[in-house]
Every structure is written in C-alpha cells, then in structure tokens.
Structure 1
Amino acid sequence: MARKWASTAVMLYLLIVAFMYWYIFSWADPAIPAVFKGTAADPSTFLNARELMLSEEYSEIRNFLFFASTPYEWLFYFLILLLGLSRAFEKWAVSVSKWRVLQTAIYLFWLSVLSFAAVFPFNYVSYSLGKKYNINTQDFASWMEDEVIDFWISFGEMILIVSVLYWLIRKRPKKWWLHAWLLSVPFSLFMMFVQPVLIDPLYNDFYPLKNKELEHKILELASKADIPADHVYEVNMARKTNALNAYVTGIGSNSRIVLWDTTLRKLADNEILFIMAHEMAHYVEKHIYIGIATYLLLTLAGLRITAWMMGYIIRRWGKVLKIPAVESISSLPLFLLISAVLLFASEPLSNYISRYEETRADRYAVEMTKDSGAAVRTFQELTRAGLSEVNPPALVKWFRYSHPTMLERISRLENYNSESRND
C-alpha cells in the first residue's frame, strides 16, 4: 500500500505542476484592462520594451516556482513518512541517548539536513533566476552563508518548539493544542521583540541613517503621526539586491524604522518620505497588532484542526505511515505536512486582510505627504527595480500578494488626484 500511495502522491504533484504551468504560461493574460491603457498605471508608460519583456518573464517563472515548490514540500513530508525515514531517525536518536531533549535534537538534525537538501534545488534556482535578471547582486558564497545561517537558526528554534510541543502532547494528550497555542503567544511576541537586535544583524549590517537631513524629515513626519521614534536605520542591501524596500520592525522599545540603501540611492527624498509615511500608517492604525491578533487566531484554529487530523490519520493509517502514536516524534512530518497545507489554504484570507491594510496605508501616506505625484513615481520605480508584475493572474494574487497589485495602487492614486481636484 505504501508504494501505491507514494506513486499516487508523485502523480498528483506532477498534475498540480502541469496545471500551474498551463495556467501561468498559457492561460493567464498579463495585459492590463483597456481602461488603464495610457494611464500612469500602464507599465508601457514607464517601462521600456526590454523592461516589459523581462518583467513578464521574471514574474511568470517566479510564480511557477512558488506553485511548484509549495506542494513539493508537502510531498517531501509525505514520502518521509511512507518510506519510514522519520521512524528510522527516531529509532536512531533513541539508540544514541536516553535524554529526550538530545533525542529530539538528533532527530531534528537529520530531518533538517534532509529537508535542506530536498529544497535546495528550488532555492538555488530562485537565487540563479534573480542573478540572471539582475535583481540579485549577491555572490554565491554570501548567498550560501545566509542559507547556512537560516539552517542553524531554524534548527535552534525547532529544538525548543518541538521539545515543548511533544512534551505537551505526552502530558496533555487531549488538550495539547490549546496549551501549545497559549505558549505560542508570549513566544511570538518575544521573537518579534528580539528580531531587530539579535536575528536581523546576522544577515546584514544596520546603522543609523547617514543622511541626517533626510533623517530629520522622517522624524518630523513621525512626530506628526505621534510615533515615538528617535532614529532611522539603513541596511546595506546593495551587496545582495537591486530591489527597493523600507519597513518598520520590532515591537516596544526595539521597534525600528529601516531603509534599504538601494532605496536611498534610487529614490528622491519626497518619494522616500511617502514610503515612510506608508510604514508609519501601519503603526498609527495598529496594523501590527491586528496582524498579531489575526496570526494568533489562525494559529489557534490551525492547531485545533491539526490535532484532530493527526489523531484521525494515525488511528486509521498509522501503520502505513510508520507512526506508532501521536506522541512519537516520528509523527512530526505529519504535523508539518498538515500545518503547511492549512497555512497555504489560509493565504487568500490573510493576504486579503493584508492588502486592505496596505491600501489604507497608501491612502494615509498620500494624505499625510500631500504629494501623490511622488507616490506614483515611487510605485513605478518599485516596479522597475524588482521587475514586478503590474497585473498578476487571480490565483497568483490570492496566494502570493500581501500587497495590492501595482495596477491597483497606482490607479487608486490617480483616482485620489481626481477627487482632490474636484474638492
């Protein structure tokens, strides 16, 4: 039966990939609606012919990679169970040590190494694609360094999370999901607090904004919005990418306003101020806390569903999947598989909420800066720098876009201009 299940799973994966290839490369039409032709939202008005071609190519390949790699992760976890590798890792760990924490660390190390090797081709293709289209500027050695840092940070977090999770499963077999969720609340807040000062600096160098005149303008803007900010940071991203970005990170006393140095080099001050006003809007309208609340609610629902599904699947097909019981750490790939599928299924909802908040932030920023022209130019330059797709297909938008499309963002700004003139 295991062989039949494995071949069925592989066939299903190939069918999904074939469908998404047809959908992205043949069926989806990247052309913008006729009503937007010739407007500021029309990419042909601000991109040359070569940039238009590269944008379409790059976006299509990236979208396809996403929809190919996502179910590939599910397939990986499923095959790990069917082939008995998860059970073998557990037996190996138990034979090496009597300490549960050490057993967990040994099991997770081999599972993490195998997972790293399995997804590495997709990661490398994504890296190479960015290099080919001049989005990535990072050399291979530096990129591999980041990959290794990712591995060890994830490994360290997983030891803590999985050790606690399976301790709860053994101690609270019926309500472990609720206790796990309750513990996830302070843990998530703690990780958000330490992210800017402990984790982010492992990847890049952060330092106070060198342009003090611009920093003064940004802090003035923050003061108008009643945001307690003393410093603006820049990060040296030019050695890794040509894309542009800015963000507000952290919570409490560790919150920071951060600008990529690529943004500082390619945008004018009034365009940067629009971006900063947009980021400040998230603080003013409590989007960070709304995001935390949404995440925690989805996590609660996800853990409840995962607990029920794990119990049902192991009772019915535990022998085929080589899982003796829910509390056995060999069930971890099943936990990760169910969680990954649920996360993917929730993306349209979470992305919809995020796009709504981003639309609100755009509106707030243009009203605060009173410079819709700078806002339009900013989005046009963001499109050019990242070879972004202005009008993505529906499935791509639902599952990948946490921000409104550039077509939506620029056209709304033009509508705002019209409303302002009428007022």
Structure 2
Amino acid sequence: MDKRLLLIILLFFILLIIFITFVYISEVENMTQLKVEYPELKEEVYSFRVDSLKVWGLRLLLSFVIPMFFLFTKLSQRISHSVGDGRSWFLSGLLYGIIFFGLVFIINLPLEFYSSFVLRHRYGLTDQSILRWLELNIKGFLVNDLITSLFIWVPYYIIYTSPKSWWFKIGLLAIPVIVFMVFISPFVIDPIFNDYTSIEDERLGKNIEVLLEKAGIEDAQIYKVDKSKDTKTMNAYMTGIFKSKRIVLWDTTINNLTEDEVLSITAHEIGHYVKGHIWENIIFSSIGSIVMLYLVYISSNWVLKLSNGTFGFRNLYNFASIPLLIIMLNLYSFLGNPITSYISRRMEMQADRYEVSLVQNRESAITAMEKLYDTSLGVPRPSNIYKIWYHTHPPLEERVEFYKTVEFEEIK
C-alpha cells in the first residue's frame, strides 16, 4: 500500500475522533447551561442525551471501521471469490450481498440492541418485547439488505461496461427508482412493519378531512398506525405521491394529545405536501446522488490505485469493492450532513408556518410540540455544532418562538 493512502486513513480517523470529542464536549457544556435555564427538566433528559451521544459516536466510528475491516483483512475479496466462480452476475451479487450484509447485520446487532432496546427500556420510552424487537430487526434486514442484494448486479454491470461514466448512468437510474419507492412504500413497505387502519370515518378523521379539503388535497387518505407496541414517543407524517399520498398518525399521538393538538400536528404534515417538500426531497436526492456518485467514482478509483492490491482486488467492478464504495458513500454523506440538515430545517419552518396558518391556533401547535419533546426526552436545544451537523428540525426553543411570532400566510 502506498504510504500516502495509509497516512490519509490515519489522519482521517484522528480528525473523526477529534470531531466526535468536540461534539460530545459541546453537548455536555450545552446541557450544563440548560440545567440553569430549565431547572424543571428531569435528570433523565440529560442522562439519556449523554448515553445517546456515546452510541452516536461509536456508531459513526463503526460506519468506517467495519467496512475497512472487510477490506484490509481481504475478507471481502474471499467472499467475492467464493461466490463468483462460474456463476452469473445476478447470482454472484445475490450471494455476496446476503453474506456481506448478513455479517454486517450481526456485527452491528449488539450496539443496535443496546441503543434501541436496552436504553429505551431504561428510560421508559418503550414497552416493546424482545420478540417484537427481533421481528422488526429481522424484517428490516430482509426488506432492506435482501432487496439490495437482489439488485447489486445492476450497478456493478454498469460499472463493468462503463468504467468512466458509470457514476452518471447509475445516478440517472436512481431517479425513477427513488420516485417509484416513494410511491409504493405506503402500500408495500410500511405495512410489513406495522398495521395501518383507516380513521376516515371517525370524528378525528372527519376533522382532518376538513383540513385536507381546505389545503386542496382532499384525496389523501388518513391512517392510524399501531406504534404503541414499539414506543411511547409520538409522531405523524405524510407520505406517498399521487394516489398513494396519505396522512399517518401514530396511535400514541392520538392517545396522548388533545384533538386540537393532533390537528395541529396533522396540519404540519399537510404543509410538507402542499409546499412540495416531498418532490423537493426527490429532486435534492436525485441531484445529490449524481454528485455523490461522481465523488465516489473519483476517490474510490484513487484509493484502489494507491492500495496496490492490498485489498485483494484491483478492479472496481469486483463485488469485493462494496465495502470501499460504502466507505466513500458514508464519508460524503457525513460531510454533506450540514447541507441536508439545513435544507430539512428550512422545510420544517415552512411547514410550521403553514400549520398555524391552516388551523389558526398557535397555542395547540406550541403545546403539541412541547409534549412531543417531553415524551421523547428531548432537550430544548442542542449545541451549535450538533444542530448544524445533525438537526433536521429546528430546536424546540426556536419552534415555540416561531409559532408565537410568525405571521399567518394566506391559505389558497
């Protein structure tokens, strides 16, 4: 391996550890200040935040360490060689994906169990059973990783046939795939994990229909999802496009908020659709995919060249390069987080304004948001660095002030 590559890898991990340390210290200092400003906040809020930060830091490190382990031990090449001998592109890709993603799933399982089961039970955020937790994780693996494995051969065949332009062709191919997934997800993917029941005939459903009609999207469907068996936190969302668009309310949201508060949260989700945020996300994702794939194309070929065969392969179209591509995708996703988080926060503010304008009720918007943060043990605000890098929603402090002062917009 070229010494330059080894030096860059070492420098990257040093900088990554410095970043994690800086964020952690900034968050701890921020929490110290919050304790003075918000003496009524429970101690569990802060201890849960600290534990969650530790998980975040470890998960960020592992997102690079695990695929590097597959590369430097040549395990990825051994898997690729064992499944590729005399087999078709499709079958080789399928077998490699099942083995590789299966191993990664198993390696990540202890941390996932600690973060999504142990911690959430420790802080009273869920009554989920261990069997239900296993069910969701296994389903997640089968839906995400197995489907990925089925189609791995497609991008790799493009890399093989178009070694200099594959990034653009795959980026273009991703656009209809993104649109298709947004369309079919409410019908096909979501029901695999939870049960969805219509509430259009209930009183709440009728009141939501009034909001939908006022917003001009009366053809959207209204559903309740049984999230109470997984969490005590609350949420709602609008998903789908065209005939698949629907409002989805967690049953925890319906059970723990007043009707006015539920309508405010629903109006916020309606605002995302009316403001075109679903389509904006599709456009941003499509453009971002092409840009990211170009960067991956440049950097992965450079790394492969400097590796001098250290990984056991020299061609990017070898399935063994999947960990290398994952590292690059994780790197550029990490570096691009401030951009995506900013865009998301901007959309949330637009939806917040539409929310209070549609329901004409500032107070219910405020109390609903405060209850959402309270049940999830959220802090009123994060440190600046964490907000810039990871906060996809404005902090509670900003949202409450925004609800109080923003001018209503005209609902057409």
TM-score, scaled to structure 1: 0.89
Counterpart-to-counterpart distance in 2, 1:182 and 1:147: 31
The answer to whether 1:138 aligns with 2:128 is yes
Give 3-state SS (helix, strand or coil) of 2:248's partner. Answer: strand
Counterpart-to-counterpart distance in 2, 1:261 and 1:147: 21
Map of 1:104 onto structure 2:
93
The answer to whether 1:396 aligns with 2:386 is yes
Matches within 5 A, 1:7-406: 13=13, 16-17=16-17, 20-21=20-21, 23-24=23-24, 28-30=29-31, 43-44=38-39, 48-49=40-41, 52-95=42-85, 97-127=86-116, 128-209=118-199, 212-406=202-396
How many residue pairs end up in the alignment? Answer: 407
Counterpart-to-counterpart distance in 1, 2:240 and 2:206: 21
1:57, CA displacement in angstroms?
1.4
1:230, CA displacement in angstroms?
4.9
Counterpart-to-counterpart distance in 1, 2:363 and 2:25: 34
Counterpart-to-counterpart distance in 2, 1:416 and 1:74: 42
Identity fraction in percent: 25
Counterpart-to-counterpart distance in 1, 2:232 and 2:30: 27
Give 3-state SS (helix, strand or coil) of 1:390's partner. Answer: coil
1:360, CA displacement in angstroms?
1.1
Cα contact 2:96–2:149 (8 A) shared by 1: no
Give the counterpart letter for 1:405 in structure 2. Answer: P
Cα contact 1:245–1:259 (8 A) shared by 2: yes
Cα contact 1:233–1:259 (8 A) shared by 2: yes
1:98, CA displacement in angstroms?
2.0
Distance change >3 Å, CA 238–CA 156, structure 1 → 2: same
Give 3-state SS (helix, strand or coil) of 2:218's partner. Answer: coil
Deviates more, 1:191-200 or 1:152-161: 152-161
Give the counterpart letter for 1:111 in structure 2. Answer: F
Cα contact 2:200–2:221 (8 A) shared by 1: no
Give 3-state SS (helix, strand or coil) of 1:391's partner. Answer: coil
Cα contact 1:10–1:75 (8 A) shared by 2: no
Q: Mind listing any 5+ residue stretches in structure 1 that lack a counterpart?
A: none
Distance change >3 Å, CA 17–CA 61, structure 1 → 2: farther
1:415, CA displacement in angstroms?
2.8
Counterpart-to-counterpart distance in 1, 2:154 and 2:297: 15
Cα contact 1:206–1:236 (8 A) shared by 2: yes
TM-score, scaled to structure 2: 0.92
Cα contact 2:23–2:385 (8 A) shared by 1: no
Give 3-state SS (helix, strand or coil) of 1:165's partner. Answer: helix
Cα contact 2:221–2:245 (8 A) shared by 1: no
Cα contact 1:391–1:406 (8 A) shared by 2: yes
Give 3-state SS (helix, strand or coil) of 1:327's partner. Answer: coil
Counterpart-to-counterpart distance in 2, 1:63 and 1:223: 42
Counterpart-to-counterpart distance in 1, 2:108 and 2:5: 22
Cα contact 2:209–2:218 (8 A) shared by 1: no
Give 3-state SS (helix, strand or coil) of 1:228's partner. Answer: coil
Cα contact 2:160–2:317 (8 A) shared by 1: yes
1:391, CA displacement in angstroms?
1.1
Distance change >3 Å, CA 144–CA 21, structure 1 → 2: farther
